[in-house]
Amino acid sequence: MEPEGRRGLGSAPGLALTTPESEQKRRTEAKAGAAGPSAVRARRFLLCLYLVGFLDLFGVSMVVPLLSLHIKSLGASPTVAGIVGSSYGVLQLFSSTLVGCWSDVAGRRASLLVCILLSALGYLLLGAATNVFLFVLARVPAGIFKHTLSISRALLSDLVAEKERPVVIAHFNTASSVGFILGPVVGGYLTELDGGFYLTAFICFSVFILNAGLVWLLPWSEAKLGSAGNGLQWGKTDVLSGKSDYDMREAATTHGARTRDKTAWPPWVEVASALRDMKSLLFSEMWDIFLVRLLMGVAVMLYYSNFVLALEERFGVRPKVTGYLISYSSALGATAGFALGPVLRLYKHNSHTLLLHSSVLTCTLLLLYSTAPTVGAVILSSTLLSFSTAIGRTCITDLQLTVGGAQASGTLIGMGQSVTAVGRIIAPLLSGVAQEVSPCGPPSLGVVLALVAIFIMSLNKPRSIGDMSDKLKSE
């Protein structure tokens, strides 16, 4: 009887689970079981964000190519039209960093919804503009609040692990680029109709409202706020970053205790405080990254600034054919996001080295385009430039977040957009001066700027995220 009793107790499930090996096995199986549904929810959330990016640029690109024609039809002179066009860039210059910092404080969902809705209001007013004054007034909301893509990228950086961040952002850029390719086609067709511009603006407004509804319906309840509005983390299992629910709760609790005093302040005070904290950090530690972004951005803008005119003067290519070439290059650039994953694995996820090499390739291709003896050489340079510039844009954004830390991702991405806005303001001026010398002047000047950027990157080695993120977290 005794052996039988012992045998029965030994075979009891409750005692079998008390051994360390069986307990570890049970936990592993439980995590694996929870990861399945959570992985589906995580991928669904990312796909919805990709759709947000697609709809955003699809709506905008229907209207933006028609703006110069419409303001001219309202009786504006070319000078006034140019001033109105520049005013949008100036508004973006000052609002990008503020809105990005606000999204860090107020939270991604609230800031994303506000930006989408107020941008929609701007395009609705644009559709109702019957004179130049109303046209200018309609551009103000979009100029200040059209930062939906920046906030979406900041949200993506909150959701995914640092190793996967460049690939996810590249896929987001690809989805947005597809919208930018299709939008002008739809807008060009609609504008041929009676009142086509007003119809196009109203459809753009409707697309933004649809986007706001999509953002509202996103499964935000599946995520937990890890700080004062940012740091979205999956509730059960963080499949994308490989963190368990216990790890996420512990991190959220620790960080919540650290920031409890800060969250007692009004949002605008927090924004001002965050900007003061970032100022010294950016100018002392990250100046080279933003300078490289500016130089490479202006170099590429100079390439595109007189692309149509240069091909017509150099090779007699008609603008219609050049338009096809631009569309072809844009389509290739959209596919570059899918190639970034294998390329990053080849570089062992070293964004700095990949950025350096892509910048060298961009500089070489700009030089090839400037000295191209045939149209075939132009097509070759345009084809490869589509890939090098798309990879470079993703790498510079990832490098900003890596060096600056994801704690202030909205502010960092917003400052990057402000730097790009500066490039949009100065690039037309530099292009006009360089074009006085030669049709190849703007891209040749771009080669010089790219060389300066490469020199800066070569001198400044990549820094570790540790010290930088510690500075941000201790504030």
The low-confidence residues of the chain, meaning pLDDT below 70, are 1-39, 221-284, 405-407, 461-475
- Give 55-93 pLDDT, tens digit per residue: 999 999 888 878 877 888 888 877 777 778 778 888 888
Residue count (the chain) = 475
pLDDT at 465: 42
Residue 455 pLDDT: 95
In this predicted structure, what is the pLDDT of residue 56? 94
Residue appearing with tokens 């936990």: 27
As given in the structure block, the two tokens for residue 374 are 């045939």
CATH of 284-464, one of 3.40.50.10090, 1.20.1250.20, 1.20.1070.10, 1.10.510.10: 1.20.1250.20
- Distance CA(273)–CA(382), nearest Å, equals 44
Identity at 53, one-letter amino acid code: G
Q: Which CATH superfamily is domain 38-226 in?
A: MFS general substrate transporter like domains (1.20.1250.20)
Q: Where in the chain is the domain with CATH 1.20.1250.20?
A: 38-226, 284-464
What's residue 209's pLDDT? 96
Measure the CA–CA gap between 355 and 121, rounded to whole angstroms: 38
Task: Please check whether residue 63 is in contact with residue 126, taking contact to mean a CB–CB distance below 8 angstroms.
Answer: yes
Q: What pLDDT, on the 0 to 100 scale, is given for residue 406?
A: 58
Q: At what angle do helices 78-106 and 409-435 cross, to 10 degrees?
A: 160
| Residue where the block lists tokens 């969250």 | 263
Q: Are 424 and 301 in contact (CB under 8 A)?
A: yes
Q: In 107-224, where does DSSP find H-type helix?
A: 108-128, 132-145, 148-159, 165-190, 196-217
The string of pLDDT tens digits covering residues 117-151 is 999 999 999 988 888 888 889 999 998 999 999 99
Inter-residue contact 359 to 365 (CB < 8 Å)? no
At residue 439, the 3 state secondary structure works out as coil
Distance CA 347, CA 362 (A): 18
pLDDT value of position 189: 82
Distance CA 139, CA 87 (A): 9
b/e per residue 162-198 (b: at least 16 CB within 10 A) = bebbbbbbbbbbbbbbbbbbebbebbeebbeeeebbb
| Residue 106 neighbours by CB distance under 10 Å | 20
Residue 76 zone, left/alpha/beta (φ > 0; ψ -120 to 50; rest):
beta
| b/e map 249-262, b = 16+ CB within 10 Å | eebbeebeeebeee
Residue 249: per-residue pLDDT: 38
Report residue 346: phi and psi, to 5°: -65, -35
